Amino acid sequence: MAAGFLVMLADMANVPIQQMIFPFLQLCLILFALAYRHILRPSKVGPTTRHIVTIITGLVLGFFCYSWSMLHLLLHATLGFVLMKFCYRKYMALVVFCVAMTYLSIEHLRKTATSTAVLLDHETLIATHRSRKHRS
């Protein structure tokens, strides 16, 4: 599978797997863009087919990159579209902004509280400050 191959490459290059996923996805998307331009050109297929292919490709590559966190991206976007559909135009921008920022803030706090690998910035600054103080 591609993930195992990327883990092996990341180990060989001595970089985190996240830094290996990004160039891999960029290469995949360049190849997809070439195929999209030549195979799915507007003169050959309709816009519905082109939209379905890009949505499926985006979901697959997004899931590959973000795994189950991709559901938060989908929920966030869907929530915004639903609010735009049902809110009055006068208040739509404010309502969508407030709901989106509240959702993102809650998710950020949840992720910060449940993550085991959180290194707070003030700890890094204190450690850096102490090491400079001991050098002089």
pLDDT tens digits for range 19-28? 888 888 888 8
Evaluated on CA atoms 38, 33, 17, 104, the torsion sign reads negative
Residue 42, judged by CB atoms within 10 A of its CB (0-12, 13-18, 19+), counts as exposed
- Write the pLDDT tens digit of every residue in 36-57: 999 988 889 999 999 999 999 9
CA distance 84 to 80: 6
Q: Please tell me the pTM assigned to this model.
A: 0.63
Look at 48-52, 95-99, 114-118, 131-135 and tell me which has the smallest mean pLDDT.
Answer: 131-135
